[in-house]
Amino acid sequence: MRISLEWLNEYIDVSREEVLEKLPKLGFDIDDNGPVFPINGPIVIGKIEKVEKHPNAEKLVICTVNIGSEHRTILTADVSVQTGKYVYVALEGAKLANGVEIQKREMRGIFSEGMLCSLEELGLEEKSEHVYTTDEELPLGEDVIRLLGLSDWYIEMEITPNRPDCLSYFGVTRELSAGLKRTPRFPIPSVKAAGNSKVDIEIKTDGCWRYTARVINNVKVKPSPMWLQKRLIASGLRPINNIVDITNYVMLETGHPVHAFDLSKLAGRIVVKDANPGEKMLLLDGKTYEFSGGEVLITDGEKLLALGGIMGGEESGISETTTDVLLEVAMFDPVRIRRTSRKLSVSSDSSYRFERGVDFDDALYVIERLSELIQKLADGEPSAEIVDVWKKKLQQKVIFVPKHFPKKVIGIEVKHIGEYIEPLGFEVEETKDGYQVYVPSFRYFDVSIPEDIMEEVGRIHGYDNIHAEPPRMLAIEKGRSQIQKLRYELKQLLTSFGFNEANTLSFTSSKLIEKFEINGKGLPVSNPIISDFDTMRPSILYGLLESLSYNYKRQIKDIRLFEIGKIFNLKNGKPFEEEALAFVATGRESVNDYTDKRNVSFYTFKGVIDEILLRFGIKAQFEKYSKKGFIPTRCALIKTHGKDIGFIGMLEPEIADKLYDVKDEIYVAEIYLEKIYESAKTQKTYKAIPQFPYIRRDVSYLIPIGQEIAGILEIYKSNPLVEEVGIDDIYRQVGEGYYSVTIYAKFRHPERTLSDEEVDIAIEDIKKQIKEKFEVNPRF
């Protein structure tokens, strides 16, 4: 439902900020909002004082335009403009609805100092043939945006299927009235009826529950006034003519779809019946539909006029020659309308509302409102006779709500539930033990049990104002299992590294797997709900990368996500599942430290995995790994006890760009947790703080490019005196084919202080082993 803020303020005083803040709290998501007319000034009123032919172009004319403070020379291709006409002038710096920005420019040797606007360029018309001109005297130099009221704002609401009442301005007004505690202003129709023209109504189908009709004579079909056209445009509809526009206006206002027939094209009566197999009708969308039987049709007993609740027929519609109109306000069976709409693959604003259920008791109000507007805007003469025929009468629902229910269901004490729900249209009578709640007719299909009433009380009270209380449960369980504890610790650890937990779907696309296979083909789904989710995921990374892409495309460039979940594959021809941990990241290393210019890297991820392995007491090795879709020099296999437990890597830039629309480096990791759970040491071991100092030695080695350093570090670790070893520095510009790696080692004896001589002997022995095994010499 797209609403206009200006139109909404006719019924309730409310600001844009209040609407955007309150509606989500009432349960209505805001999909989008923005200016209805995307134009910016300066656009002013001008008067053409002189029109000359362009000396160098037959299809251009030169206009001298008075804009109040000065005269401007403006060129236009509309040669029909005339002296003395008032026009809308876009000056340099203005931006029009079609995205054009006005600049002073030369056209065949003469500079144009602006542009004469059509209604299309202001966003007021779908297609304009000429510059807009008028003889009406207007204030020169006046701001057109202010004068025409083109500063309106639209708000696109997401309405759930159970709330068709909010597919209307009245419905949204009621919600805001209750939420903001303000009094709404609903119009009361006033019609001067004359004559007793009428048509006979006969309902021959159970698909139509009520049919209300009125004749209006002597209408004048013409364009709608500007205020009406603007409101329809702001609500997403295209103005057509005043009669059709009024029916759309009232539908948006009340939420009840209506229709207008050209009375001269009818045989004097209305017969609502079921379609016969093979019957055909040309509808207003220009298509001919053949019916299979059971569709609800509006006829005059001789010919088909409309497909009930969905769309009118082309041959009975309003035209420029129409003088007499028959108004229809009907109530159809929602199930029948939905079934027909799906079967014929035809949908409309009317069917969208009817298939969800409209107000069954507002027909007389709606037809009076229609009559009032047609009388005012089309000079129509409404008949005093309103024909109202019922086929099926619905009874108002009455629901008893015990007084203890608010506390029991939503945890709040209330003095009287009427203060919450009466602004929504409910009527409440208090009894000794509770409340008798009379459900309004526009909520007939939505509210049926006491819990529904409590939902309304909770919404208006505000879910964020309800105090959370933990459920009272007997402590009969033993708490978390060992695996649950390890899983929880993993989540806490990833969170401490700045990762946000994600929960993605367990499905992915087989087409995506074909393009980018991470860990097998997954399990095919025999009857997928959506074609893009036709495979049970073989890797959690598919979902995480989609989430990363979604955020990246919305200007969130520093992203860290993780997820623990199940992955699925085939093993020996049979389906199996296992638990995995996956995490992805892109962007800066330290988001909140502007002095830190580093980005996430391979070593960021290796550090996270090292910490996980250290926390669980698992020793693992990182081995060079070549995997399709990943950079070879930035990809490693993780192994423990000779078994693969996962990998880390950087996506190839081409895959990151083409599949996920990410231009920066993306690093990923996936660890298969079954082996982690099996090998984890939950019993912590402690040792005394060393009593004796360590001695550090740094040695720089000349390492051939491409040689792994892990073996060299293992030689250090094999020495019993080495307590800690690591890389201190890498210098890459040492000769051809070599780089210098500085390795540090800390030597310590647990029972005494080492001498320099002992450390020297140890370091020399290490150098010797490195030379013999890897032919690597110290740099100095």
**pLDDT tens digits, one per residue of 699-711:** 999 998 888 888 8
Same domain, 606 and 725: no
Question: What is the reported pLDDT for 736?
Answer: 80
Question: What is the reported pLDDT for 447?
Answer: 95
**The pTM is what?**
0.61
Closest CA to 359 of 525, 498, 171: 171
Query: In the chain, count of helices (H) and strands (E)?
Result: 20, 38
Q: How far, rounded to the nearest angstrom, does the alpha carbon of residue 542 sit from its chain's CA centroid?
A: 21
Closest CA to 613 of 602, 601, 605: 605
Same domain, 363 and 259: yes
Q: Which of 409, 435, 465 is the last residue of a domain?
A: 465
- 473 within a domain of the structure (yes/no): no
Q: Pseudo-torsion of CA 374, 377, 378, 379, nearest 10°?
A: 90
- 440 within a domain of the structure (yes/no): yes
Tokens of 652: 């190839």
Contact 158, 28 (CB under 8 A): yes
Same domain, 376 and 460: no
- 685 within a domain of the structure (yes/no): no
Same domain, 588 and 651: yes
Q: Which of 644, 679, 714 is the last residue of a domain?
A: 679
Q: Which has the minimum average pLDDT: 203-217, 353-367, 704-718?
A: 704-718
- 470 within a domain of the structure (yes/no): no
Same domain, 129 and 143: yes
Contact 159, 446 (CB under 8 A): no
Same domain, 597 and 630: yes
Number of domains in the chain: 6
CATH number, position 428 = 3.30.56.10
- 193 within a domain of the structure (yes/no): no
CATH number, position 516 = 3.30.930.10
The model's confidence at residue 474, banded by pLDDT at 50, 70 and 90, is: low
Same domain, 337 and 416: no
Same domain, 450 and 537: no
User: CA torsion sign, 218 to 222 to 226 to 231?
Assistant: positive
Q: What is the rounded average pLDDT of the residues 519-539?
A: 88
CATH number, position 744 = 3.30.70.380
Q: Kindly report, residue by residue over 547-601, the tens digit of the pLDDT.
A: 999 999 999 999 999 999 999 998 888 899 999 999 999 999 988 888 988 999 9
**Distances 471 to 468, 475, 484 between C-alpha atoms, Å:** 9, 12, 21
In the chain, the amino acid numbered 300 is D
Same domain, 286 and 307: yes
452 is in an annotated binding site: yes
The model's confidence at residue 477, banded by pLDDT at 50, 70 and 90, is: low
Q: Please report where in the chains the tokens 């599949």 appear, as a residue.
A: 659
Q: Tell me the backbone φ, ψ of residue 246, rounded to 5 degrees.
A: -65, -40
* Full DSSP string of 49-102: EEEEEETTEEEEEEEEEE-SS-EEEEEES-TT--TT-EEEEEPTT-B-TTS-B-
760 is in an annotated binding site: no
Same domain, 31 and 88: no
CATH number, position 95 = 2.40.50.140
- 231 within a domain of the structure (yes/no): yes
Q: Kindly report, residue by residue over 345-366, the tens digit of the pLDDT.
A: 999 999 999 999 999 999 999 9
Q: Kindly report, residue by residue over 603-637, the tens digit of the pLDDT.
A: 999 999 999 998 888 888 888 888 999 998 899 99
For residue 125, give its domain range.
Answer: 43-148
- For residue 742, the SS3 value is strand
- 226 within a domain of the structure (yes/no): yes
The model's confidence at residue 473, banded by pLDDT at 50, 70 and 90, is: low
Question: What is the reported pLDDT for 476?
Answer: 61
- 192 within a domain of the structure (yes/no): no
Same domain, 536 and 658: yes
> What's the whole-number average pLDDT of the chain?
92
455 is in an annotated binding site: yes
Q: What would you report as the CA-atom Rg of the chain, rounded to the nearest whole angstrom?
A: 38
Same domain, 702 and 629: no
Q: Tell me the backbone φ, ψ of residue 113, rounded to 5 degrees.
A: -105, 35
pLDDT at 432 over 80: yes
